């Protein structure tokens, strides 16, 4: 079976102070929207830049939902490089291949509340690398639940 290469299409930053981080990127010249928030304290904002690249800001409450590494005492990296892959199965295949090669699995593949298949591995420097399938609207759910722990 032929696979396609992952495409770097997203940088996700986990903000200690969401409002201050949002203000910084606005001052930089980005038209970052206020984004979404929830009664549970979740905050998220994203913008698609002119070149198609997506910059996302999340607070720690949201990061803890989608990345089990954020629920560990040592936490995870504050930046997540997001790679789009062609299928849900490709998320599972790449995660298995990378962890079998010795890279740390931070979030095993699972079906997310936003409708994608998603996983996180750490690169050799400890940076989080997200693997995400296309969205499937029929798999969306709310409220979100914690992702499965590794």
Other CB atoms within a 10 A radius of the CB of residue 41 amount to: 11
Question: To which H or E segment does residue 26 belong?
Answer: helix 18-27
Count Cα atoms within 13 angstroms, Cβ side, for 145: 8
Domain extents in the chain: 7-139
What is the pLDDT at residue 52? 93
**Distance, CA of 41 to CA of 59 (rounded, Å):** 9
Separation of first and last alpha carbons in the chain: 28
CA torsion sign for 94, 96, 100, 105 is positive
**Distance, CA of 136 to CA of 87 (rounded, Å):** 10
User: Which CATH number applies to 7-139?
Assistant: 3.10.180.10
What is the pLDDT at residue 45? 95
What is the pLDDT at residue 141? 87
What is the pLDDT at residue 1? 55
Q: What is the pTM of this model?
A: 0.75
Q: Of 82, 77, 83, nearest to 126 (Cα)?
A: 77
> 10-residue block means of pLDDT along the chain (150 residues)?
81 89 88 83 92 92 86 76 93 94 93 94 85 93 82
């Amino acid at each position: 079976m032929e696979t396609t290469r992952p495409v770097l299409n997203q940088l996700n930053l986990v903000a200690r102070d969401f409002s201050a981080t949002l203000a910084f990127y606005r001052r930089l010249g980005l038209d970052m929207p206020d984004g979404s928030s929830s009664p549970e304290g979740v905050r998220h904002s994203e913008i698609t830049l002119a070149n198609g690249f997506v910059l996302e800001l999340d607070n720690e409450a949201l990061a803890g939902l989608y990345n089990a590494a954020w629920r560990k005492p040592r936490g995870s990296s504050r930046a997540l490089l997001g790679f789009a892959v062609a299928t849900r199965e490709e998320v599972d295949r790449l995660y298995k291949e990378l962890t079998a090669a010795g890279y740390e699995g931070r979030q095993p593949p699972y079906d997310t509340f936003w409708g994608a298949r998603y996983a996180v591995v750490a690169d050799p420097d400890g940076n989080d690398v997200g693997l995400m399938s296309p969205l499937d609207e029929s798999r969306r759910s709310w409220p979100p639940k914690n992702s499965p722990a590794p």
